[in-house]
Amino acid sequence: MNCTQQRVTERQRIDSLQALRAWAFLGIFFSHANFFISWPRLGVSVFYVMSGFLMTYRYENVELIASFKNNLSFSLKKIKKLYPLHIITMLLVAMIYLRSIILSGWEKGALVSLLVHMGLNAALLQTWVPNRVVNVSLNGVAWYLSVTVFLYFMFPWIKKIIEQAAIIKLSISCGIILCVEVFACIPFVLVFGNDSPVYVWFMYCFPVFRMGDFFIGCVLKRIFFESNVRDMGALKATVFEVLAVAVTVFVLLWLETEPDNIVLQALHNQTTMYIPLAAIWVFLFAASKGLLTKVLSNKLMLFIGNISAYSFLIHYVITKYTSRLLSYMNVEVYGWHRAILVFAELVVTIVFSLLYKAFHEKAYSRV
């Protein structure tokens, strides 16, 4: 183990954030499993904000030499444990589409499209294509990994900015980023409309747009550790957590309403309003001082959070195959049967995640 790796692993892990990671994953999983309640967009923002927070925390005392070559190497090393799983899950979903192509008589256009999508996904370049349909092709959630590669690539430069600037300037920069995101959405709303695949790509999957979540997470780390939040009493922290729940519910409900002017339409994009909510919850879970975060940071959530990186890529394949099987059998599942099915999908996802984790650790130990 080299010096850089040693200094990174010596940082104390913030277990409560693993629990928050689990809750973020569940919000996304429930959405793809068609459960009656879910919080997928908030879950994605929590992932990105938390990623920025933890990257800045873990590499605080590590010197990263920023250059195109070094940044690319750093980024690829960060995702190497997930990349084999990404390829496996991509191929499993590709088999579904290949079966459809075979049944339709080997339609040439569909086959070419499948091969193009496979190439883009294998190279993790799908989120650079300005079309939501391409971004979520095959194992749809892999777009997150595509964006993450870019964010990790940018991190050494972001780290320099975070370390050198004053907190007040960084905080103002975060506010400016949120405003720029909203106003950048206005031309897309006017030209393409709210439901356009191009606009959805820009506001949800475009790696540069998602730098907002990540950068704000990096700044949040400095704010957290340079504030006195860790000295907060349990009662005061619990009050803040209850208020955070109320604010979160209010904002999520407000985002479901129909905006009546162009600025509000742009503000209703699928990213910007979720970032402050994600930052609030990352902050509160990192502190873990109140009753709510302590209860939610239980052993089960810590367990799910520790394997959520694998579960995130695996769950979409499980729900996809389940959906296809039910469609083939002409079966529709509602009510308690749906809840039981979702629970079964979650269990299967966890089992396969544990199997891959064990396989990866065994293979890595041989290297």
How high is the pLDDT of residue 10? 44
Residues in the chain: 367
For residues 204 and 202, what is the distance between their CA atoms, to the nearest angstrom? 6
Question: What is the widest separation between alpha-carbon atoms in the chain?
Answer: 67
How high is the pLDDT of residue 366? 65
pLDDT at 354 exceeding the cut of 90: yes
Report pLDDT digits (tens) over 318-328: 999 999 999 98
pLDDT at 26 exceeding the cut of 50: yes
Report pLDDT digits (tens) over 232-248: 899 999 999 999 999 99
Report pLDDT digits (tens) over 94-125: 999 999 899 888 889 999 999 999 999 999 99
Share of the chain above pLDDT 90, in %: 87
pLDDT at 5 exceeding the cut of 50: no
Mean pLDDT on 143-157: 98
Name the residue among 64, 48, 50 with its Cα closest to residue 5. 64
pLDDT at 4 exceeding the cut of 50: no
Mean pLDDT on 7-31: 84
How high is the pLDDT of residue 58? 94
Point out the least confidently predicted range of 8-22, 60-74, 233-247.
8-22
**Domain map (residue ranges) of the chain:** 14-366
For residues 46 and 54, what is the distance between their CA atoms, to the nearest angstrom? 12
What pTM was computed for the model? 0.93
Q: What helix, strand, coil percent values describe the chain, rounded to 5?
A: 80, 0, 20
Q: How confident is the model at residue 2 (pLDDT cuts 50, 70, 90)?
A: very low
From residue 220, alpha-carbon distances to 30, 66, 139, 235, 261 in Å are 28, 22, 31, 23, 32
Q: How confident is the model at residue 21 (pLDDT cuts 50, 70, 90)?
A: very high
